[in-house]
Structure formats: structure tokens, C-alpha cells
Amino acid sequence: MRVVDIPSLGAYDLTTGETGYASVKAYVKSPWAFACMQIRSSELANLPWRITRDGVVVESHPLIDVLTQFGQESNYVEAMQSTEIDLLLTGKAFWLKDVDLIQRLNPNTIKVKSTPSGIDGFVQTIDGKVVNTFSRDEVVYFREFNPAKDLDPGVPVVEVVKGAIAIEYEAGLYAEAFFKNDATPSLLLSTDQSVQPAEMDRIKGWWDKAFKGSRKQHKVAFADKGLKAQVLSSTMKDIALTTVRDQARNDICAGFRVPKILVGAMEEATYANAQEARRFMLEDVIIPRSKYFADVINAELVRKVDPAVTFEFVPQDLQILQEGANEKWKRLSDAVVQGAISLPFARAQMGWPEAAAPINPAEKPAAPPPTAEEVEVRAWRRKAARALQAGKGADVPFECSWIPSGRQATIRAALPGAEVGDLEEIFS
């Protein structure tokens, strides 16, 4: 089944090659930046989603299969995570629409061909050689905002926080070198006397054995024959390494808009404030981001396959936001009772469609007319009731034209000996 009328699977060489190694280095350079990217991408990829038609959920559709399978070597969650990380690292991300499959393209290999009138297409270059060219309709193109050029890739978050990443990275290297040197500052041992090389080696060996290593700090040293020790480098405390590193981590989290407590700042963490931090990130970062993703997917994929349906995320289905929604509705409903806001406004704040609102009694549609069978049953019941009021039995003769024979037999069997109070159940 062809979903998109473009060249068949395998028409393109999707090998990514080694291009973009700088992005790989940026991805793994900082543990905190890496964690921020993982957290953001995982939250986005795990948002519930659906396909709807005129507001009604569609249970089966080719687009559901396309998005769920997402290529031969991937799936929806993995691809959505990769797409978000591509945007954070490079400011751009690409999906190739290849018949009834979607493939992620390495953004480091793709260049956007744009003119003042629009995007002409995309060029894929690997190891300095152009291997593919794609038309605009063949690619789903995600991009960060670019204040200079609307159509070109924008500024990635990693570029914004690269200074903080460099500080954290260098601080880590300093700490690593410090402890590789057994947590001792560099020293210069000096004396006014002439010392032979063998004696130098013996003295250094004695010093290392006596004082080198983090477990031997603060021991008392004694040297004779004019031997002096001079510290050539500062300790981590002296250069406030911890403070510098923590500020860099704060800046990284601020740039990625991921609460520090979610990344690893557990000094004052509790379950409650961790939940609040996650809820903040979902509501203020992930959900607005998902709306952008949904807009791009609808404009560049869904409408080209089936314009009658819509792709949408359903963050309100997340349990953590359900709890928040309950609290929000309590606040809004209290305001409605106090007359501060209207019920339609409260419904709009909750994101509930007007189609789900209860019907005003004055606006309720008229009941449908009774069927011929219902008319006949009512007439039979009235005749039986009049007979009972006249002191006769309820088993009166009645000719039926519309009541099925089985129901007739059931009613007739129950009428002998029936009282007025029994008629409702008999004729129901």
C-alpha cells in the first residue's frame, strides 16, 4: 500500500557516515547536558498521541502504522527522542518520507537549499560527496528559531550553553587530574645542598610514601639538611572549583529549561518537589514543544496523506498532569460558584470542547416519536388498567398488529391475577 507517492524504499542511500563527529562530542562532553537532553527527549517521546477525525479518535489508519513502525531500524519513541536531540544539538531535524515508511536523516549531513521565495530542497553530503538530493515534499523539516533567516536552521541549545559546558568539562578534567595525582598539589622539593640523582629519587620516594594520596593528607612532615617543600598549584578548595562547577551546571539546566533536581541535584530533593519540578517542565517546556511538533507533522506529513485527519498529542492523559488538572478544576469551579468567572470560561481553561458540555434543558432536542409497537403496547396497558378500575380482570382481549408474538405471549401469561401496580412491569 502506497501512502505517499514518492520513490520506493531503497531509492536513497541513507548511510550517515562519520559526518557530524563534532555533534557526537558535544552530545557526550557534559554529563549534565547529556542528562538534560535525555530527559527532554524522553518526556516528549512518551507523551500519548492519537489520530482524530472531526474530533473523534481514529483507531485504525495507515498513518498510525507509519508513525509507530518508523522505518526498518527504529520505532516511534526512539525516532522522537532522536529528533528532539537533533534539534537541541544542531538546531535542525529531518524525516524522509519514503513510501509507507519514515526515516530519520542525520542532520549533520543535510543542508537546506533556501531562497527568498522558499525552500527549494535538501542536499545530503557524506565525506564531502553529495549522495542525495530531496525535494521539499519528501522531507519533514523541524528547526529551531533563527532570528536572521526564517527558513534556515536556528540556534541549538547546545550552542547557547557551550560556555557552561566547557567550564563543567574543564572542571571535571581538573578534578580527574588532581585525583590521578593522588589528590596532592604539585610540589617543588628544594635544598641548598648538592644532591645526586640517586639521592633525589630516594627523597621523592620517601615523600610519596609518607604523604602522597588523599588518605594521607594533613600529616606532619619533617625534613632535615635544609630540605624545603613549596606548593606549586592550588587545591580545589582554594580555586572554588565546586562553586564554579555548580554555577556551570545551573547555567546548563537553565539553557535546557530542565529543573536541576531532575538532573541530579538531590541535596534537598523530596518526592513532592521532584514531582512539582517534573510537572513544571511538562507544562512549560514539553507541552509547548509538542504543539510545535504536532503542527509540523500535520502540515508536512498528515495533510499530504489524509487531509481529513489530525495528529495530536494528549498530555492530559498523563497521570501526573491528571492530578494537576483535578486541582486546577477545583480552583476554577470554586471561582464559578463565587461568580468570578463563567462556566464556559472555566471549561475553556481546562481545554474541554464545548461539544462535551451538558445540554441546557431548554435546548434539549425533542424526544423521537414512538414506534408503532410502543403505541400498541401503551393502548393495551390503558385497556387493562380501565378493566381493573371497573372491577374486572386485567386479562382483556386485545388485537395486536405490531407487537411480536413472543412478547404478546409473555404479556398475556402475566395478566391473569395482575393488580394495577403490576402493569408497569408487565408492559415494560
**Could you give the percent of the chain with pLDDT greater than 70?**
79
H/E/C letters for each residue in the chain? CCCCCCCCCCCCCCCCCCCCHHHHHHHHHCHHHHHHHHHHHHHHHCCCEEEEECCEECCCCHHHHHHHHCCCCCCHHHHHHHHHHHHHHHCEEEEEEECCEEEEECHHHEEEEEECCEEEEEEEEECCEEEEEEEHHHEEEEECCCCCCCCCCCCCHHHHCHHHHHHHHHHHHHHHHHHHCCCCCCEEEECCCCCCHHHHHHHHHHHHHHHCCHHHCCCCCCCCCCCEEEECCCCCCCCCHHHHHHHHHHHHHHHHCCCHHHHCCCCCCCHHHHHHHHHHHHHHHHHHHHHHHHHHHHHHHHHHHCCCCEEEECHHHCHHHHHHHHHHHHHHHHHHHCCCCCHHHHHHHHCCCHHHCCCCHHHCCCCCCCCHHHHHHHHHHHHHHHHHHCCCCCCCCCCCCCCCHHHHHHHHHHCCCCCHHHHHHHCC
Per-residue pLDDT at 135: 94
User: 129-165 pLDDT, tens per residue?
Assistant: 999 999 999 999 999 999 988 899 999 999 999 999 9
Task: List the domain boundaries for the chain.
Answer: 1-183+236-317, 187-232, 372-426
Choose among 220, 214, 215, 221: nearest CA to 178: 214
pTM, two decimals, is: 0.64
CA distance 386 to 330: 54
Per-residue pLDDT at 2: 33
Contact between 103 and 95 (Cβ < 8 Å):
yes
Is it the case that residue 47 has pLDDT exceeding 70?
yes
- Confidence tier at 110 by pLDDT (50, 70, 90): very high
Q: Mean pLDDT over all residues of the chain?
A: 82
Amino acid at 319: Q
CA distance 295 to 7: 25
- Confidence tier at 11 by pLDDT (50, 70, 90): very low
Per-residue pLDDT at 283: 93
Contact between 235 and 155 (Cβ < 8 Å):
no
Is it the case that residue 195 has pLDDT exceeding 60?
yes
Contact between 294 and 47 (Cβ < 8 Å):
no
Query: What would the mean pLDDT of 283-293 be, rounded to a whole number?
Result: 96
**Higher-scoring residue by pLDDT: 183, 26:** 26
